Every structure is written in C-alpha cells, then in structure tokens.
Amino acid sequence: MAPEAHEKAHHTVPQLAERTPSITGREIVAELVPPPQFEHASFENYRPDHDYPSQVEAVEKLQEFVNPRPAGFFSRRRQARDDLPGIYLDGGFGVGKTHLLAALWHAATGPKYFGTFIEYTALVGALGYQETIKELRSAKLICIDEFELDDPGDTMVMTRLLGELVASGTRVAATSNTPPNSLGEGRFAAQDFLREISAMSANFETLRIDGLDYRRRNVTGQAVAVLPEAREHLVNTLLERGSKVTEDDFGSLIRHLGTVHPSKYVKVIRDVEVIALRGVFLLTDQSDALRLVAFIDRVYDAEIPIVASGRPLNEVFDDEMMAGGYRKKYQRSQSRMVALTTGELPPHTD
C-alpha cells in the first residue's frame, strides 16, 4: 500500500511532532520506578508457563536474591556464585522478564531504582558521571530493564558506573534478550569494549528464562493496519469523546524523533490516550529504526494503543535490519507493535 504522505486531514488534531520537551536529571531520577503496567507486579501474580520449568526456577532464584538466606556457621553450601552482587535475566520476548524484575524491585527494601538502559545513560548525560554516582550510591538495588547495546561508549560508561556502585554495596538486577558475555556480539569488537563487558558479566549470575511470547499467545502475528478512512473515522470519534488523541504523518514523526533524545520520549507521549499514524512505510535507515524501537518501548510502557494506516507497523524494518546485529531489538519491538495496534475504538474512560 502506498504511503499517504499527501493525504489531507479534515480536522485539527494535536501532533506528537509538535512536542519538544525538556527533562532534567532530577526528573529522570524521579521516574526511575517500574512502568504503570508493572506498578503492582509481584512474584505471586506472575503466571509462569509450566511447560517451561525455567520460569518457576527464576521466581525462586529471584526470591533468594532479594532475601538471601544466611548460611549456617558450619555450612559449606554457599559457593562463590551465590554471593555475586548481580543477577541477569536472559530470555526471549514476552516470557515475563520485566514483570519479574519489577516484582524484585517491589519486594526489595531500602533505596532502589528501576529504569531502562537508555534512562540510566541519559541520567549520566544530564548530571555527569560523578553526580550520577553520588545520586545512586545510596541504592540497595538497581534494576536495569532492556540491557541492550547500541553504543560502545555508553556501554563502557554504564559498566564502570555499575562497577563503582557494586563496590559500594549496591546489588544489580538486569534483563536482556542477550546473555551478558554476548552483548554487542556482531556489532562491536574493540578490545577495550570486550574487556569491559567481560568484567561486568563476571559480577552476574545469569538466569535463562525460556518460553513463548505471552503477547502472541492469543493474537495473530500481524500488527493491525486500517484504511485511511477508518483511521480518520476513529480519530474523529475519539475527538468527539474528548479523548486525548494525537495524529502524525509517520515520516514526520520519525524525523522528529531524531531531534529528541530518547530519554525524553516519555514526555513526548505524556497524557496521550491514543496515537494515530498516517502512511506507515518501510524504514531503510538504521538510526531511524532504532529511534522507533525506543519510542515503541515508551508507548508500550504507557499502554497507549496505536491506530495506524499504511504498512503494518511490524513490517517497517527492512530485511538487512532483520538479519543484522540489532535483530533481537527489532523482533522485540515487532512483538510490542502487534500488541499495541488496534482497528477498534479503545474503551471510553472518564
């Protein structure tokens, strides 16, 4: 289907591309909590798939991590691996890693932080390295969701930051779709980078969590794309309801995301209830694609439905991207796009 780049709108709708928010280091720190859908996440309300025993085992290991049992005076049971200050949840998409990480955060006592890799690196950018260390040093636990590598410089800063925090007594829990000693595989090969990753991974016990993507257990594997007329009807109906809906040309939004730091995407979508996109098309620039991934992550965290026309949203990454070093990031984003897109009116809430 051809992009609707020249489609004429018959109504005035707010656009995400008009939003250029600013964000301070203090604001980033204040946001370092689990996203809304995991506000009440616990080990008790995690629903493991019993066809995959590693999911139950992960719960047990995390409960031990947050409440370590002291060994008896004569016990030789505890080995060096049990005393590691970090735990790393490695698994595919939609197996509940973020739920478990949030459950761990909620179960922990004392000062604690929960954020994505991008949020922590943005904090360093906003406050500076030493100020970030001062801000986070009191934490008993730091949770890092989506430890995925886009930039070796950011990764080296982050591994050094974690090293200093661990040395001062902070415990660290992280999730990723990639084992810690394979982070950056197929992307970066600099010796100093590999040395940093090796040093970091030595602090983590890795828990492998297998299973099916829960977002796709009861849905088809395709993002919903509606006709332009249907999208316009949905947008007009939402406006008449008084819903907070935005509508953007896909290309304009992609260009705008390139002017906003990913740490600010959470403010770009703040208070939005539905996002409408016109003329979705195939992306051929990897930087654009990675920014879209970061944007979709924030939309998913905020649970904002997307009404899109043009190409199905989960088909925007070209074949070269899907075969490259970032393919796991794109696959995770595709899963989230399938879950977010809709062709129906969201339930009306007052």
Domain ranges in the chain with CATH number 3.40.50.300: 25-68+82-209
Query: What percentage of the chain reaches a pLDDT higher than 90?
Result: 53
Architecture of domain 25-68+82-209: 3-Layer(aba) Sandwich (3.40)
Cβ contact 173:108 at 8 Å: no
* Three-state DSSP state, 330: helix
pLDDT tens column, 3-27: 554 444 446 899 999 999 988 888 8
State the average pLDDT over residues 70-96.
66
State the average pLDDT over residues 237-259.
96
Residue 213: pLDDT over 70: no
Residue 81: pLDDT over 50: no
AA identity, residue 108: A
Least confident of 36-45, 92-101, 294-303: 92-101
State the average pLDDT over residues 284-313.
94
CA distance 112 to 108: 8
Residue 206: pLDDT over 90: no
* Residue position matching structure tokens 């994505």: 116
Distance of CA 19 to the CA centre of its chain: 21
CA distance 174 to 156: 16
pLDDT tens column, 94-142: 788 999 999 999 999 999 999 988 889 889 988 899 999 999 999 999 9
Tell which wins on pLDDT, 253 or 349: 253
CA distance 63 to 35: 21
Neighbour-count burial of 342, counting CB atoms closer than 10 A to its CB (0-12 exposed, 13-18 middle, 19+ buried): middle
Residue 86: pLDDT over 80: yes
Residue 72: pLDDT over 60: no
CA distance 73 to 245: 62
pLDDT class of 79 with cuts at 50, 70, 90: very low
State the average pLDDT over residues 60-79.
68
pLDDT tens column, 148-189: 665 667 778 888 898 899 999 999 998 876 655 555 554 444
Cβ contact 52:210 at 8 Å: yes
Cβ contact 28:119 at 8 Å: yes
State the average pLDDT over residues 79-89.
72
Least confident of 12-26, 198-212, 232-246, 312-326: 198-212
State the average pLDDT over residues 32-48.
93
